[in-house]
Structure 1
Amino acid sequence: MAEQGAPALSLPEDWPATPDPILALNGMGTFDWDLDAGLVHLDAQAHRIFDLTPGEDDRRPGTVGRRLLRSERERLDALVARAMKEGRQNYGTYVRLRLREGGLRWAHVQGYIQRDGTGRPRRITGILRDASEELGDIAARGERAAHAAARRKQTNVVETATAALAHARTVQDVIDVVKDSHGLALLGSKSLVLGLVEAGRIRLVAEGPEGSSVPGTRVTRIDEPYPMSEAVRTLSPRFIESPEDFAERYPVLWPHITGLDITSAAYLPLIAQARPIGGMGLLYSDRRGFTSEERNVLIALGSSIAQSLQRAMLYEQEKDLAQGLQQAMLPRTIPSVPGADVAVRYRSGYAGGSLGRDIGGDWYDLIPLPGGRVGAVIGDVQGHDTHAAAVMGQLRIVLRAYAAEGHAPATVMARASVFLHELDTERFATCLYAEADLSTGVVQLVRAGHIDPLVRHNDGSCHRVAVDGGLPLGLSAEFGSLEYPVGTMELDPGQSLVLCTDGLVEQPGADLDDGMRALTRSVAAGPGDVRDLADRLIAMAEARGGDDDVALLVLRRRVPAERQPVGRLQQYVPPGDPEALTRARHMIRMAVRDRGAEENAYEVELVADELITNALMHTEGAAIVTLRDLGGSDRRLRIEVEDSSSALPRRRDPGEDGVSGRGLLLVDRLTDVWGVEARGGGKCVWCEFAVRDQR
């Protein structure tokens, strides 16, 4: 009000000013949104903030809303709806707008909700202003922080995947890492497919989740119009930015995946040593396009997967080669041995991912010998590589040859040691050789630095057989210590002899004796059947793991169907083995007594001893002694001694003072009949005794 006495002022008709010019001075625009009519009015400043021309503004809220980012539009709508629902009159927030040329602008929106008499919202009026300068620094810092966080997340994903792939040994291991929901899925892909190149085709080997692949694309040609085929064919990744891009570039594939809500995809070639070995596809449902950094991360990830796949393929190839070589060096079949049940097993060690170490020098062998005998061998060449396997193969063959030639067990072991020493190798080998006479149960054991055998009894108990041993093969020859003591034991019918390498016994951090005691308990608790027992022991080794190989041989002497003496007994007598000659005499003596012919026992044993001695003295090989009970009304016992010489025995006059030439005279006097028969490359000298059953 003017002061009293002051002159009256002349005021303009448009005073006071409307709010529009005042708001314009502050860079503010206004809007008026009629909720009933569904129209919104923007003033000129609001048009400039929204980067709209008056001609583009049709007053529809959707037209204005398209300037907002989708996420911002949804957030603003939710804010307004909540304010109306809660009965509030005001709301305000910052939003981001996308400008005509693609840039972004921050704006602040503040609205006033007007209601009718019933409280129903009818109209929203308000102001908005450009907040780019206000929030520019804050937004830039936020974007930089978000960008750095995204980069760390992507880097962590690559590092996590690479670390997991580093432990993958096989192709299946790599596939499992790729499919792991905690692995590559952290990249945000909705689904993935992985294929390997095989003979000009791509075969899918993994998909995640199950059913992600398109029907009919399990096997595709590299020249087909699919994104993975293109990536493999051109050795370049294929990035698909949008559904429209997908539909335009790959019209054959797109109809099959429209239901998956795919918005973008990346197909990467898996390249190793400049050649494609496969391809991988990652499909997304929450992004459009890829930044340069995202592309680089995906390409690096594809390279890591490709290198892991190549390493896994190389490992599997070497493993197949190693296993093939190992199997070629081991006996292809184990011969059937009358009077015994035999089971053999071999388990290759796991060497912590080192290529070429799934092969070793462990071996087993079973050697049929004349006279109802059998040789059982278990051994271990030093090392875990192809050289160890090659040495093992040679050593196994020569040891079998020495045993088949008829040499005594100690001689077999000594000759094998000399052979290994003369090879061009620095490897040595431990070995255990057991020669068992299944007719009598007598077992001769020779040990060259190897662990002791075990015997499982009929009642299930088990004990370790202590055998005096010599140096390992190769070392004993090098140090001139070729003496191998021979241990003797009897294997009763139903008992089992268990031979194994130290891979079945040794445990990390445990003493060898503790391991032997644990194995003894396991054998005692195991089944009586040799095959079931062998399977159980190998299963225990598998469960325990470890890097060492395991070779196992279990031999069980069968229980005869009848306890009565059989009609034929046979004994093998090698040259230079006094103990074998003693065992042959014992067999003859006991067999004659078992048949109730005790009054003939001395004569039969004396003649048999003479024939065996002649065979050993006048030939270079072994002798096979056979006793037959001919039975019948005219009961006779027949002694046969075979040797490898074709020279026939002849009678000689020893003279009064001669000590030689009396053998055949003795045979002629004590037997009822005798003779000589040709047998292949040798001969058989036989004789018969008429006996009277005294039982």
Structure 2
Amino acid sequence: MADRGGTPEVDWPARPDMSLALNRMGTFDWDLDSGQMHLDDTALEVLDLRPDEFTGTAAGLGSRIAPGEEARLDARVSQALKDGRSHYGAYFRSFRRDGSPGWTHIQGHILRDPQGRPYRIIGIVRDAAHDPVEPGAGGEQAEGRRRMTGVVERTTAILAHARTVNDVTDILKDPEALGHLGAVSVMLGIVDGGRIHLVAEGQLGSYVPEIEYTRIDAQFPMSEAVRNMQPVFLGAREEFQLRYPNLWPYIEPLSVRSGVYLPLIAQGRPIGALGLLYTREGDFTAEERNLLMALGSGIAQSLQRAMLFEQEHDLAEGLQRAMLPRRIPEVPGARIAVRYRAARMGRDIGGDWYDVIPLGEGRVGVMIGDVEGHDTDAAAVMGQLRIALRAYVSEGHSPGTAMSRASAFLRELETERFATCTYAEIDLGTGILHMVRAGHLDPVVRRGDGSCHRIQVAGGLPLGLPPRDQSGPGSGYPVTRLELHPGDTLLLCTDGLTERPDGRPESGMQALMEAVRSGPADVEELADLLCDLVGDAGGGDDMALLLLRRRGTPLPRGGGPLRQRLAPGDPDAPTLARHLIRAAVAAWGAWDQADEIELAADELMTNALVHTEGGGHVSMRLTGEGRIRIEVEDESSALPHRREAGDWAVSGRGLMLVDRLADSWGVEPRGGGKCVWCEFAVRGTAV
């Protein structure tokens, strides 16, 4: 190669290494498995790196790449590897040793093994300072357009699924979203009266602790954007200092060089503002401004939708709670806990309810139910149905009759809705529980020893459906009788407690049973545990829960209840009942009172057989207060009353004897009939 006037002679044709060197194009070889990277001499010269400064890895290039560009280059390489491409290229801003800026272009060829796994990249590094027009402008602008357009599309798609304000803020705080936006800090403020509430701030290596609440008329860029409903663009650090001196102390220690504050406008009014801070310097192009404003518009629509959703959900939940009992009464002999949780998905209100009804004489009624549907109509129907069923129970109707009448009431409302329900009536003195079920979940009982069982309760149709059998008012809802021992806990719930996203309620029921079995004995703590069990994993339905734990200690030997049928025309029924009563009285330590107790019971049984046509039932039990209680139920609604009998009258002295013999007596309506009762205080010692 000869020398021509000081210019070195180049062989013809020029060798590839000479062609690359003269055009300031170096080569690199990157082993993806080991992370090692080789740069030839020209590549080191393009990047203004000495051989001893280069660490032999991709990270060793960081000192020559402008802030913010490294993450973009990594994203470009990762996307090419993920997409299965064989080539990629990108422009990036670089800095020489003296700090002067430059433009560099990188291009790589990806090698893959037979399975398609990338293992090596071979490429070139080129000085782009002499590219036509502006160094790297075409590639950089194309890259910027692709990035920003992708940001708008991706953010809009993600925000389409946001239902709450928290969903919106979580998306904006996502570090990946920050990377796509090219920003080091993202701030979201919501208009709250005359102030702006900063509700989200996401960052990558930068943090701007603005005041949580700022007035709209304050000298802050976010306030100005809301006040004027126009974006605020800041292309240099000096603009922060000159225009917003109150904000400058927070910006000065950071590497922030530019920023934009976008008003979030929905239906012609500002609802908030979005702030983005960058390490890049320079004004925003017209295309960038249009894309950012499009981004702000999409965020504004999502934010307004989320705010309306939360307002409607709060209103619906408040209406639902207003339909539920305002307080649960204290019931002697039991601990009761209730919970209601609104649906975690959707704005709709539910129709779940619970209720507790003190019935006097140590008895209490508990119910739980669920009206079909998730809207305000379901809540309104629920409120009416709950009150109607409560009224039927309070009037003294039997559980089966009350449920049948509630079903007829729902049909008369003509709402085309049905409801499921479980009602249980419990005598806390004896533990006897009468339960009726209308298409609802079976209850669960946890025994005092910790064992847990689902109770198979005879069921009828859901409320509001035409009965199969029209022959009687209570024929469609059979009553199941069982005993709740001291320390036992009854659990009633709606299916929102057992539903799971996988659509398998049996898995939810198994989890429920295990939680009840291993959970605390205290009903309040157990209720909290069961609500936490559902958490946000439920199937989107609301949930109601009622727990009742019977207090007390086991009754004395023989303290269980006695119940005998009194059939009309059966002369042996009263005789058998008298024998059973005398035996129970002796077992309960009241032998010296046996004659008067037997006589009072005989008078009540005789009245039921003589003055009614359907016979009845006689029952006797020892209450927790140490009193013997006798009850005679019949199907007549005519109430007895005490009357004075003449000297030669053959009737009329029954209730007079009961009044004289018993410590107390009374009459209670029971649905289509009544119950006449009397009580004796045991004077002896129970054994």
- Which among 167, 189, 203 is matched to residue 173 of structure 1? 167
1:220–1:685 CA distance, 2 compared to 1 (3 A): closer
Q: What CA distance in whole angstroms lies between the structure 1 residues aligned with 2:552 and 2:366?
A: 19
Q: Does 1:149 align with 2:138?
A: no
- Which among 512, 517, 523 is matched to residue 530 of structure 1? 523
Q: Does 1:310 align with 2:304?
A: yes
Aligned to 1:38: none
SS, match of residue 375 in structure 1:
strand
Alpha-carbon offset, residue 412 of structure 1: 0.7
SS, match of residue 534 in structure 1:
helix
Q: Does 1:486 align with 2:479?
A: yes
Q: Does 1:381 align with 2:371?
A: yes
Q: What CA distance in whole angstroms lies between the structure 1 residues aligned with 2:439 and 2:394?
A: 23
Q: What CA distance in whole angstroms lies between the structure 2 residues aligned with 1:427 and 1:150?
A: 57
Alpha-carbon offset, residue 684 of structure 1: 10
The aligned amino acid for 1:662 is: S
1:250–1:458 CA distance, 2 compared to 1 (3 A): closer
The root-mean-square deviation of aligned C-alpha atoms, in Å, is 4.9
Alpha-carbon offset, residue 220 of structure 1: 2.5
- Which among 554, 557, 568 is matched to residue 547 of structure 2? 554
- Which among 370, 385, 393 is matched to residue 403 of structure 1? 393
Q: Encode CA deviations 1:187-232: one digit per residue, 9 max, x unaligned.
A: 22232332221122222222333983365x4332222333222211
- Which among 377, 385, 391 is matched to residue 381 of structure 2? 391
Aligned to 1:224: 218
1:402–1:168 CA distance, 2 compared to 1 (3 A): same
- Which among 262, 269, 276 is matched to residue 268 of structure 1? 262
Q: Does 1:440 align with 2:430?
A: yes
Aligned to 1:212: 207
1:541–1:177 CA distance, 2 compared to 1 (3 A): same
Q: What CA distance in whole angstroms lies between the structure 2 residues aligned with 1:671 and 1:172?
A: 69
Q: What CA distance in whole angstroms lies between the structure 1 residues aligned with 2:402 and 2:581?
A: 27
Task: Give the TM-score normalised by the residue count of structure 2.
Answer: 0.68
Aligned to 2:333: 339
The aligned amino acid for 1:474 is: G
- Which among 490, 503, 507 is matched to residue 496 of structure 2? 503
1:662–1:514 CA distance, 2 compared to 1 (3 A): farther
Alpha-carbon offset, residue 342 of structure 1: 1.6
Aligned to 1:100: none
Q: What CA distance in whole angstroms lies between the structure 1 residues aligned with 2:407 and 2:353?
A: 16
Q: What CA distance in whole angstroms lies between the structure 2 residues aligned with 1:397 and 1:319?
A: 24
Alpha-carbon offset, residue 529 of structure 1: 2.6
SS, match of residue 253 in structure 2:
helix
Q: Encode CA deviations 1:228-281: one digit per residue, 9 max, x unaligned.
A: 222111111111222344444445544552332433221111111110011122
Q: Encode CA deviations 1:644-679: one digit per residue, 9 max, x unaligned.
A: 9998511345979xxxx62515864x9975799999
- Which among 321, 331, 338 is matched to residue 315 of structure 2? 321
1:602–1:629 CA distance, 2 compared to 1 (3 A): farther
Alpha-carbon offset, residue 517 of structure 1: 5.0
Report which of the two structures shows the higher radius of gyration computed on alpha carbons.
Answer: 1
SS, match of residue 308 in structure 1:
helix
Alpha-carbon offset, residue 541 of structure 1: 1.9
Q: What CA distance in whole angstroms lies between the structure 1 residues aligned with 2:624 and 2:168?
A: 69
Q: Number of residue pairs matched?
A: 552
Q: What CA distance in whole angstroms lies between the structure 2 residues aligned with 1:691 and 1:283?
A: 87
- Which among 229, 233, 238 is matched to residue 235 of structure 1? 229
The aligned amino acid for 2:273 is: G
Equivalence map 1:44-443=2 (5 Å): 136=132, 143-209=137-203, 212-213=207-208, 217-254=211-248, 256-351=250-345, 354=346, 356-357=347-348, 359-443=349-433
Q: What CA distance in whole angstroms lies between the structure 1 residues aligned with 2:455 and 2:151?
A: 57
Q: What CA distance in whole angstroms lies between the structure 1 residues aligned with 2:666 and 2:448?
A: 43
The aligned amino acid for 1:332 is: R
The aligned amino acid for 2:308 is: L
CA contact (8 A) 2:590 2:682 kept: no
Gaps of 5+ in 1: 1-17, 20-74, 86-95, 97-104, 107-130, 574-580
1:426–1:278 CA distance, 2 compared to 1 (3 A): same
Q: Does 1:662 align with 2:651?
A: yes
Alpha-carbon offset, residue 346 of structure 1: 2.0
Gaps of 5+ in 2: 7-42, 54-92, 94-101, 104-127, 566-573, 670-674
Alpha-carbon offset, residue 686 of structure 1: 7.0
Q: What CA distance in whole angstroms lies between the structure 2 residues aligned with 1:629 and 1:514?
A: 40
Q: What CA distance in whole angstroms lies between the structure 1 residues aligned with 2:593 and 2:217?
A: 92
Q: What CA distance in whole angstroms lies between the structure 2 residues aligned with 1:373 and 1:476?
A: 31
More divergent stretch after superposition (646-655 vs 542-551): 646-655
Alpha-carbon offset, residue 466 of structure 1: 1.3
Aligned to 1:470: 460
The aligned amino acid for 1:224 is: A
Percent identical pairs in the alignment equals 53
Q: Encode CA deviations 1:458-487: one digit per residue, 9 max, x unaligned.
A: 222222221211111110459858521111
Q: Encode CA deviations 1:113-143: one digit per residue, 9 max, x unaligned.
A: xxxxxxxxxxxxxxxxxx99x964xx68964
1:278–1:396 CA distance, 2 compared to 1 (3 A): same
The aligned amino acid for 1:270 is: L
Q: What CA distance in whole angstroms lies between the structure 2 residues aligned with 1:629 and 1:205?
A: 58
Q: What CA distance in whole angstroms lies between the structure 1 residues aligned with 2:542 and 2:207?
A: 41
More divergent stretch after superposition (464-473 vs 636-645): 636-645
SS, match of residue 649 in structure 1:
coil
SS, match of residue 475 in structure 1:
coil
